[in-house]
Amino acid sequence: MQDWWRGAVIYQIYPRSFQDDSGDGIGDLAGITRRLDHVASLGVDAIWLSPVFPSPMADMGYDVSDYTDIDPLFGTLADFDALVARAHDLGLRVIVDQVLSHTSDRHPWFAESRADTTNPRADWYVWADPQPDGTPPNNWPSHFGGPAWEWDTRRRQYYLHNFLASQPDLNFQQPAVQDALLDTMRFWLDRGVDGFRLDTVNYYFCDAKLRSNPPLAQKDGRPTVNPYDMQDHVHSKTQPENIGFLKRMRALTDQYGGRAMVGEVGESQRALQVMEAYTRGCDRLHMAYSFEMLGPAFTAAHFRQQIEGFFAGAPDGWPWWSFSNHDVIRHVSRWAPAAASPEAMARLAIAMLVGFEGTIGLYQGEELGQTETELAYEELTDPPGLKFWPENKGRDGCRTPMVWDHAATNAGFSAARPWLPVKPPQAARAVDLQEGDPASVLAAYRAALAFRRAEPVLREGRTRFIDLPEPVLAFHRTGPDRTISCVYNLSPAPVTLHLRGAAAGVGPAAAVLAGGGRLSLGPNGYGFFASAAGAEPVLSGA
């Protein structure tokens, strides 16, 4: 099936934290393979593996030192092949994380590039002379604090790093760099992977003239916690040349058939526009996602703006919507002010996702209603948390290990001390405590995903929003013959609506349809109603 990714459900696995079978406190490929039955039982279509390539792990694998091997922490290429084979046996496709915008400073390419200015890879990274006073060539900052430029004493030049100084940025202006990266993608395609998640996909090119970025007006007039957020990054990323390389990647994946690419758009000012531009037509990315649904905003207007805005700008493009991943506070904790309880928010979240037009992503543990782990400073490993504590606690709180057995050591993740701690509030949501319980969050996820799978209109139908006041989000998903109307209460207080017309309640629901068309949505309640296409029910406020 060439377009399997359209409307698919993709489950993200953070390998360090999924299952440790080697006994070193760090998750591994063998552990993932052993636990794939759990993933398949959810009813998802594919898994996305965060990086497992050789790396010094300064940024937990997002600093790659070899694109065509497996880090010994996680296993071997044979372990990877076994994982792919088992996933395919279970009907799961496998997407791997490709970090192409930068490498580790321990990558052989960088070791050669920094040696001098005349070697064959001298221009494979973004190098620049200092200004006359010795300062960096422009004002670009790093995401992780300080300038995005690091002085190299051998070359007596600065090199660009949008993240850690140990993550130098590749120079995509050089065709040889593009060719080399495409070769690394071909290596994994030949091993049977079904696609790529492309990290920081809009960072490949920077302004060739290295012009400084303009300032960004601050909402409250105060500096932000991270100075990176005080600039409009019009020159340091999201350059027009990027699309040319996306087309080269698409041409490569199209040679294999049935493969898919999703790009992570790191853009705070123009996220929807970049998503649209990168997925438009059939010669760029298959899908793209941004952080627009991974933030604190939790209103009907916000979700409508994202979905409606995307399809208005790119009617032939395709989005991927997620509420959590390895970079953000888990949504059950992030949206706690709007939640009747963590469990109610978890059930509402999956009910919303299965109704959204596009591909949807889940993050490991989300199916358990997992909450953010509270960590002490001395327990942190993440560079942003260590740099910006306590206002920004970093990303470790969403990366703590998966919990399998509440009574086992470290909740069944590892017999050794894990790289991040397993704490009682997280262990209390272990798989074994929810398995077989029809009232559990795990059961709600399985039911919601089964509903989406059974209703083609939820994977393929178009969306038309219904005008209702906050806190109600409502829309019709319509196919050739059938419509499903999706209604959600985004608040911890009950809401009453009126529903007029012939419609039958379908799928999982937390709503009551009484006489006279009175529709009661409990706290964080939701409902799905089926009708013939063109005969959709009319919903209105009480």
Q: Give the catalytic positions in this structure.
A: 199, 267
Distance (Å, whole) CA 319 – CA 303: 13
Contacts of 214 (CB under 8 A, 6+ apart): 231, 232, 234
Q: What angle do CA 97, 272, 299 make, to 5 degrees?
A: 105
Distance (Å, whole) CA 328 – CA 140: 23
Beta strands in 254-394 (DSSP E): 260-264, 287-289, 320-322, 359-363
Q: Do the beta carbons of residue 229 and residue 196 sit within 8 Å? A: no
Contacts of 378 (CB under 8 A, 6+ apart): none
The helix (H) or strand (E) run that includes residue 161 is none
Q: Tell me the Ramachandran region of residue 17: left when phi exceeds 0, alpha when psi lies from -120 to 50, beta otherwise.
A: alpha
Q: What angle do CA 56, 118, 236 make, to 5 degrees?
A: 60
Distance (Å, whole) CA 40 – CA 21: 19
Q: Do the beta carbons of residue 402 and residue 365 sit within 8 Å? A: yes
Which residues on neighbouring strands pair with residue 49, listed in sequence order?
A: 13, 96
Q: Give the chain's radius of gyration (CA, Å).
A: 24
Within 286-363, residue ranges assigned H as helices are 300-313, 331-334, 342-355
Dihedral (Cα; 85, 86, 88, 93), 10-degree rounding: -100
**Chain centroid to CA 266:** 11
**What are the structure tokens assigned to 406, written together?**
């509440």
Distance (Å, whole) CA 33 – CA 66: 23
| Residue whose C-alpha is closest to residue 253's, from 299, 230, 286 | 286
